Amino acid sequence: MSDAVTLTLAAVPAHPLVADCIAADRFAALAEREIAALPVTHGGRPARLGDFFRVSGGRAATVRIEGDLRLVEGIGTGMAGGELVIEGGVGRDLGVGMAGGRIDVGGDAGENAGGAPPGAARGMTGGEIVIHGSAGPRPGAAARRGLIVIAGSAGPGAGRGMIAGTVVVYGAAGPGAGRFLKRGSIVVLGAVERPATFRYACTYRPPFLPLLFRYLERRYGLATPQGALAGRYARYAGDMAELGKGEILHWVSE
């Protein structure tokens, strides 16, 4: 048993590497050798995690991953607890179907972070994903609960079809943010292209946001622009094509 498991990318994959076996709660029950033997898919062919990563430590629910992971997909799939710290950027499908725990990404994340696995109706149902860079398309798509925070900008379709939960984008959110949103919140500090099916409600100071921003600063070191912490936000209710109980909160002024 060790304090943390460290995965260091030793062989850079030539093709997309699907490593959906990497989840902090799973590693808590596995020894170093067992972790290295976990199955991955490289360019559609089966392989072992140890073929690409040097594994250090075992039986710990805190996992650090080092190296260029832009071609590594599916990290944190279905994770239900523990903590995953990714030093740099990461590929698509980060934390899909995640139910608990924390994923902290130092760089950018690819498409569908916190979203749903192929064919599933629900994305993440709990836990926290914090991306210190930008996110690709559809972060938080179909999420049922949980928190996704993007310090940079988000690609198109942030929170698309979200059932509940929270997506926070410190930068700009691409077109189609919140489309088919049932419940849940999409908080955007930068520019946002809202679907036409969102209706303006009011401009106010949502009291939960200072709580959330202070938590993010304390827990993840994310600094919020001073005026945004307790600032005024325009509330757009939607998606009126769906249940309409969701919202886009767009920062407008101090």
Between 30 and 216, CB nearer to other proteins? 216
Interacting residues with other proteins (CB under 8 A) = 145, 147, 166, 183, 185, 202, 204-208, 210-212, 214-215, 219, 229-230, 245
Residues 6 or more apart whose CB falls under 8 angstroms from that of 47 comprise 17, 39, 40, 41
Between 171 and 244, CB nearer to other proteins? 244
Q: How far is the CB of 129 from other proteins (least distance, A)?
A: 14
Between 44 and 207, CB nearer to other proteins? 207
Between 71 and 147, CB nearer to other proteins? 147
Q: How far is the CB of 166 from other proteins (least distance, A)?
A: 6
Q: How far is the CB of 195 from other proteins (least distance, A)?
A: 20
Between 92 and 102, CB nearer to other proteins? 102
Q: How far is the CB of 169 from other proteins (least distance, A)?
A: 16
Residues 6 or more apart whose CB falls under 8 angstroms from that of 70 comprise 89, 90, 91, 108, 110
* Angstrom distance (rounded) from CA 27 to CA 7: 11
Q: How far is the CB of 233 from other proteins (least distance, A)?
A: 11
Between 112 and 166, CB nearer to other proteins? 166
Q: How far is the CB of 153 from other proteins (least distance, A)?
A: 23
Q: How far is the CB of 206 from other proteins (least distance, A)?
A: 6
Between 48 and 183, CB nearer to other proteins? 183
- What amino acid occupies position 141? A
For the chain, what's the residue count? 254
Question: What is the DSSP secondary-structure string of the chain?
Answer: --S-EEEEE-S--SS-EE-TT--HHHHTT--HHHHHT-EEEETTEEEEGGGTEEEE--S-SEEEEES-BTTEE-TTTT-EEEEEEESS-B-SSTTTT--EEEEEESS-B-TTTT-PPTT-S----S-EEEESS-B-S-TTTT--S-EEEESS-B-TTTTTT--S-EEEESS-B-TTTTTT--S-EEEESS-B---TT-EEEEEE--THHHHHHHHHHHHH--PPPHHHHT-EEEEEEE-TTTT--EEEEEEEE-
